[in-house]
Amino acid sequence: MSQNVVCPIECVKSGCDDPPDFLEKHNAFLLTLIASLSACVGIVLTYFLKSRCKNIKTPCVSCDRDVIALVPQDIEVSSAPPA
């Protein structure tokens, strides 16, 4: 009488000690690096939005824009919070 054992591939691989690949070994570092780079790009883009410069140039982005003129009579300063 012959017995056939059916086993999934995970069962066969469990006896082998494969070294972890790069992503499994460095996943926390890569996540931290990607988050840090995204934060830096966000800071730079926020600076671009708030700046009064007409021409902005970086190695990968260039922008010529019209800056809105601020008229002191149009600015309203109040100490009460808006309702």
Residues 67, 76: Cα–Cα separation, whole Å: 20
When pLDDT is cut at 50, 70 and 90, the band that residue 2 belongs to is low
Instruction: Say if residue 1's pLDDT is above 80.
Output: no
Taking CB atoms within 8 Å and a gap of at least 24, the contacts of 36-41 are none
Full-prediction pTM beyond 0.85? no
Over residues 11-53, the pLDDT tens digits come to 666 556 667 788 888 899 999 999 999 999 999 888 888 888 8
Sequence-ordered list of residues with C-beta below 8 angstroms from that of 82, at least 6 positions apart, any chain: none
Instruction: Return d(Cα 75, Cα 70) in angstroms, integer.
Output: 8
Alpha carbon separation from 75 to 15, 51, 69, 72 (Å, rounded): 73, 18, 12, 5
User: Does residue 65 contact residue 51 with C-beta atoms inside 8 Å?
Assistant: no
